[in-house]
Amino acid sequence: MRSFDYQRPATLTDAVALLERHGPEAQILAGGTDLIIGLRDRTIQPSVVADLKQVPELRPAIDEQDGWLSISAGTTMTQISAHPAIRRHFMALVEGADVVGSVQIRNRATLAGNICNASPAADTAPPLLVFGARVLVEGPAGERRIPIDEFFVRSRETTLLRGELVKSIELPVPREPVGAAYLRLTRRRGTDLASITLCCGVEPSGSTRLAYGSVGPKPVLFTDKSGVLADPATAEDAKLAILEEMLSAASPSPRSVRASPQYRRAMLRVLARRGLRAAVERLRGAA
Amino acid sequence: MPRTLDVELTVNGAPRRLEVHVHHTLLDVLRDQLGLTGTKECCVVGECGACTVIVDDLPVNSCLMLAVEADGHEVRSVEGLARAGELTPLQQAFLDKGAAQCGFCIPGQLMAAQALLEQSPDPTVADVHEALAGNLCRCSGYEQITEAVLAAAEEMRR
Ligand code: FES
Ligand code: FES
């Protein structure tokens, strides 16, 4: 590993100033489970590593306020998975957080790190898209909020501007229970990167949200408000036509070592049908 | 541009003051600076668990943590298990069940299992599998390792 200037800002203002000063030359260190791999294999060679774990506002915290559940940037996957309010309202996010790496990884890896790394295969992205999360950002111009479906660009690239950092991720607490499920396809059981990630959420109105990743440059979200997908009386063919439309954004890379494009497209359909079925069942179970 | 930093941490119960390189991992420092070579280096990408140590009661991969991040924290490695030459029930169970073959993965397995047993003294088989999913054993002694953890849990509950 090449050496770097290690900085540990004590305040949010210092952190933003540091990131603004160094721009792309600086890398944020939160959980480190992606960054340190990149530092070691030299795919990332920052001159400054900014460890943000001392910034009070970024310390692990999960709070509910004004109908929003806020997860601070330092919160780990383990902490998310253990939190009663997240388990009650956003179980599909817990399902995503629970399959990130191993216990050892989840004890360090943060939700903010997972989205900032912007891997198309990020397990937490589809649930965040389905639940309509927004990202609270602090930067040189102050605070702003980015809807999660405008956050991802491609692997390692987000719509964060120079000097900006993620303060927290906010989730709207649903007034009525939403049925949602997270599914993924891996090459083997156990710890593995996903070849497909998918989350489906169904509201009591029948409105259905489908988010998927690992089949294109970024995870994507589609909504069907017709209620057809969630309606048990609708013929299977009618549902498949809508699903097919929602899945048409998939453009799996032919260069992937994990699965061929044909296989991914075929399995994406299977996962979408399973996800829809599971979400509808959960909605009924909650009602 | 500080390229080294003074850190204070607790290692296996003893407070330590060290000057570490900022780009060295906790694994590097444990092995090369403190001579604690029980913790193994293997994949260095967080996949095998051979480098597992316990930081503030949670198992982590020491290959994915900079030593400077351990500043102010409490680190436990396999060397901290046995006291005065006396094996812990967990270590003894690994021996009794024949869980250690070549032994390379065992320090990591022990630390992951130790953290599990501290959190849930009465784990199910599924709990053990999940807790040790990040610890690979190329000798493939998974059955024996699981048996050992369950046996140790039982022994420790007595
Ligand atoms: S050496 Fe750290 S996980 Fe393999
Ligand atoms: S005992 Fe040989 S690798 Fe596990």
Question: What would the pLDDT profile of A94-134 be if each residue is shown by its tens digit?
Answer: 999 999 999 999 999 999 999 999 999 999 999 999 999 99
Residue range(s) defining the domain that contains residue A102: 56-172
- Sheet architecture: strand order including A196-202: A179-185, A196-202, A208-213, A220-224
Is A193 a residue whose pLDDT tops 90?
A: no
User: Is A287 a residue whose pLDDT tops 70?
Assistant: no
State both tokens at A218: 């970024």
Strand bridging mode A196-202 / A208-213: antiparallel
Least confident of A42-51, A166-175, A248-257: A248-257
List the strands of the sheet with A5-7, edge to edge.
A5-7, A48-51, A26-29
At which of B80, B104, B122 does a domain end?
B80
pLDDT band, very low/low/confident/very high, at A178 (cuts 50, 70, 90): very high
Contact status, residue A130 vs residue A202, Cβ threshold 8 Å: no
Q: Do B22 and B59 fall within a single domain? A: yes
Quote the tokens at residue A54.
């001392």
Does B123 have pLDDT greater than 60?
A: yes
* Residue A37 shares a structural domain with residue A62: no
Gap between the Cα atoms of A193 and A122, Å rounded? 9
> Do B19 and B69 share a structural domain?
yes
pTM of the prediction? Answer: 0.96
pLDDT score at B2:
57
Q: How confident is the model at residue A190 (pLDDT cuts 50, 70, 90)?
A: low
Q: By C-alpha distance, which of B35, B1, B44, B43 is closest to B16?
A: B35
Contacts of A88 (CB under 8 A, 6+ apart): none
Q: Which of B48, B80, B112 finishes a domain?
A: B80
Q: Is the pLDDT of residue B1 over 60?
A: no
Work out the burial of residue A216: count CB atoms within 10 Å of its CB; fewer than 13 is exposed, 13-18 middle, 19 or more buried.
Answer: middle
**Domains identified in chain B, total number:** 2
Question: What percentage of chain A reaches a pLDDT higher than 70?
Answer: 99
Residue A56 has a CB neighbour count (10 Å cut-off) of: 11
Q: Which of B95, B110, B139 most suits a substitution to test ligand 2, by most atoms within 8 Å of the C-beta? A: B139
Give me the residue label for tokens 């997860």: A71
Q: What backbone torsions phi and psi does residue A167 show, to the nearest 5 degrees?
A: -90, -45
Confidence at residue A255, expressed as pLDDT on a 0 to 100 scale: 81
Of B60, B80, B100, which one is at a domain's C-terminal end? B80
Which residue in B66, B73, B129, B130 has the most chain A C-beta atoms within 10 A of its own C-beta, making it the best mutation to test that interface?
Answer: B66
Counting one residue from chain A and one from chain B, the pairs whose CB atoms sit within 8 A come to 85
Confidence label for A187 from pLDDT (cuts 50, 70 and 90)? confident
Which neighbouring-strand residues pair with A179? A202
Give the pLDDT confidence of A134-150 residue by residue, as tens digits.
999 999 999 999 999 99
Return the bridge partners of A51, or none: A29
Which CATH number is A9's domain given?
Answer: 3.30.43.10
A72 lies in the same domain as A159: yes
Same domain, A167 and A99: yes
- pLDDT per position as a tens digit, A220-246: 999 999 999 999 889 889 999 999 999
Chain B contacts of A74, Cβ < 8 Å? none
Do B73 and B15 fall within a single domain? yes
A192 and A151 together in one domain: no
Q: Give the whole-angstrom CA distance, residue A70 versus residue A4.
A: 33
CATH number of the domain that B113 lies in?
A: 1.10.150.120
Nearest CA in chain B to A54: B69
pLDDT in tens, B34-63: 999 999 999 999 999 999 999 999 999 999
CATH at A263: 3.30.390.50
Q: How many other β-carbons are positioned within 10 Å of the β-carbon of residue B79?
A: 16
**Ligand with an atom nearest the CA of residue B134:** 1
Query: What residues make up the domain containing B14?
Result: 4-80
Contact B46 A3 (CB under 8 A): no
Give the list of residues 6+ apart from residue A158 with CB closer than 8 angstroms, or none.
A115, A116, A118, A151, A152
Residues B64 and B99 in one domain: no
Residues B143 and B103 in one domain: yes
Instruction: Answer whether residue A256 shows pLDDT above 80.
Output: no
Co-location of A213 and A114 in the same domain = no
Give the pLDDT of residue A232.
86
Same domain, A145 and A98: yes
Q: Does residue B101 sit in the same domain as residue B130?
A: yes
- The continuous run of DSSP H or E covering A93 comes out as helix A91-97
Average pLDDT over residues B3-22: 97
